[in-house]
Amino acid sequence: MKRLFDFIFSFLGLIFLSPVFLITGLLIRCKLGSPIIFKQQRPGMYGKSFNVYKFRSMTDERDEKGELLPDHVRLTKFGQLLRKLSLDELPQLFNVLKGDISLVGPRPLLIEYLELYTPEQARRHEVRPGITGWAQVNGRNAILWEEKFKLDVWYVDNRSFWLDMKILFMTVHKVFKSEGISQNGHVTIEKFRGTHQKDSMQERRV
């Protein structure tokens, strides 16, 4: 039932939102250049990798060594607006249509994080990742990684059709209020470096 709902909703969403896709794509092409779509490998269900699609929100500015400048430098005001309105997430409807992800589930993070999870945190990969999830409507990027993973695992253990509906409605509310877009001092959120590493650092400080 969940997969059928995902397929129908994403198919209709791509049709009805096609004008938004077109306008957003043209603006990105004019303000940020090509490519319009940002593609990156992320781990999906059971850690199997797939290419996630997002609208580009940063420039390709590089230093004299040819390395990309920090995110906060490359993220323009236009890119910030895309993220604030969550328009950069729209191309993930193609991922939902393909079955890579679901509308609702733990957010697909970076491949490099897989080896950093505790066994409990890794349980977030027991289900398909999602465009939005329980952690997104309960703090998004404003909460600590450990809190986020606890919320993800709670979703895995308590998932249901009605919980998904609740999360979707809460997501719309959060988008309009623009809550939890970034962590203090960061463009989005500080990189996850592993719970054990963080605990060890705290012990050394004590």
Structure confidence by residue, pLDDT tens digits, 30-62: 999 889 999 999 999 999 999 999 999 998 888
Give dist(CA 131, CA 165) in Å, integer: 13
Longest dimension (CA), the chain: 56
- Tell me what pLDDT residue 82 has: 92
Q: In Å, how far are 36, 57, 58, 61, 77 from 33, measured between CA atoms?
A: 7, 10, 10, 11, 15
Cβ neighbours of residue 138 closer than 8 Å, sequence gap 6 or more: 151
Give pLDDT tens digits for 154-182: 999 999 999 999 999 999 888 877 665 55
Cβ neighbours of residue 36 closer than 8 Å, sequence gap 6 or more: 25, 28, 29, 55, 56
- pLDDT confidence bin for 200, thresholds 50/70/90: very low
Give dist(CA 141, CA 31) in Å, integer: 26
Say whether pLDDT at 84 is over 60: yes
